[in-house]
Amino acid sequence: MTAVNAIEVNHLTKRFGQKTVVDDISFHVRQGEVFGLLGPNGAGKTTTLRMMTTLLQADAGQVKIFGHDTVKEGRLARSMFGLTGQYASVDEDISARENLMIFSRLNGLSRRAAKQRTAELLAEFSLENSADKALKNFSGGMRRRLDLAVSLITRPTLIFLDEPTTGLDPRTRTQMWATIRQLVRQGSTVVLTTQYLDEADQLADNLAIIDHGKLVKLGTPAELKQQIGGTKLSFTVRQADQVEPAEHLLTTSAASAVQRVGQNLSVRLKHVAALAPILAALNQAKITIDHLVVQEPSLDDVFMTLTVGKN
């Protein structure tokens, strides 16, 4: 069976007054993958997500969820995904158990099934001990966990997470990542927005980089990093009079622009294999070097390069 794409986004556009906040964006999300929408603040990530989850009407273009148009078959489409919004979308005034019960009932579970599912989720997200306390006393991490638990009530195969770890401390963040990976292992498709590059790098199989409402780049984290250029090599030349010959040597062997800051030289290599000959040549020329750093390109580089100067 050729699997239907979990999501197809075609020429999606949204204008707020004169401003086009989402500009003709198209991409698709395959079943079972983690798809990341990455971009700086105000890039249009959340607006895109809100249109995908039927919360906002697009001015042009369409979104299909498992082949179902979100406008024409809104209710059916809505029954196929869970959504965890950017701001904890649970009720503050009532307890975790009550929240889960209410949302279970609203999702159409019978009273008995709702009770059972609530108990399961409380256990799964380690919320049993505070199940009956008012949410006002919850920590940010607990709130997010409850929020996620609520969106998993119907065990949706597609889950939208809008900035799932914004504002969480490193430990809770790692826990959230583990939870998301667990979901994927169980066969879910996850779409998340994030402004954290390491998060996208850690979790996403495919990424869409969005800036000023436009889709800037689409690909796997590895592909995106590849496009920016390969490994970065940098070192410091110990003796000042050797900087000139070292730079010359580097330019000829790496065949790309060398950056020189004082006695520090850096260059981008197409392949890691180019590293050994350079080091051998330096050795042969009796140039002593310190602080050797070989760095794989990070998504930070990608991000900075693609969104540079626009903000």
- Per CB under 8 A, residues contacting other proteins are 53-55, 75-76, 78-79, 81, 83, 85-94, 98, 102-103, 105-110, 113, 117, 134, 150-151, 153-157
Between residues 102 and 184, which has the closer beta carbon with respect to other proteins? 102
Least distance in Å: CB of 125 to other proteins?
Answer: 17
Number of H helices and number of E strands within the chain? 11, 14
Alpha carbon distance 62, 42 (integer Å): 22
Continuous segment of H or E residues that includes residue 60:
strand 60-65
Minimum CB distance to other proteins, residue 189 (Å):
13
* Between 98 and 205, CB nearer to other proteins: 98
- Closest to other proteins by CB, 128 vs 132, is 132
Contact 278/233 with Cβ under 8 angstroms? yes
Strand partners, 38: 194, 209
Which C-beta is closer to other proteins: that of 134 or that of 287?
Answer: 134
Beta carbon of residue 92, minimum distance to other proteins (angstroms, whole number): 8
Q: Nearest distance from residue 104's CB to other proteins, in Å?
A: 9
Q: Which of 132/290 has CB closer to other proteins?
A: 132
Beta bridge partners of 192: 36, 161
Min dist CB 138 to other proteins, Å, is: 14
Cα–Cα distance measured from residue 163 to residue 161, given in angstroms and rounded to the nearest whole number = 6
Least spacing, CB of residue 82 vs other proteins, in Å: 8
Closer by beta carbon to other proteins, 107 or else 305: 107
**Residue 48, strand partner residues:** none
The nearer residue to other proteins, 151 or 202, going by C-beta atoms, is 151
Say which amino acid occupies 74.
G
Angle at which helix 140-151 crosses helix 111-124, to 10 degrees, equals 140
How far is Cα 178 from Cα 192, in angstroms, rounded to an integer?
A: 14
Query: Residue 222 and residue 200: Cα distance in Å, rounded?
Result: 11
Q: Side by side, which strands form the sheet with 68-69?
A: 19-29, 7-16, 60-65, 68-69
Q: Which residues are CB-neighbours of 226 under 8 A, at least 6 positions away?
A: 297
Q: Cβ 17 to other proteins, closest distance in Å?
A: 15
Tokens for 18, please give them. Answer: 């004169």
CB of 80 to other proteins, least distance (A): 9
Output 192 or 228, the one with its CB closest to other proteins.
Answer: 192
Backbone dihedral angles phi then psi of residue 125, each to the nearest 5 degrees: -105, 20
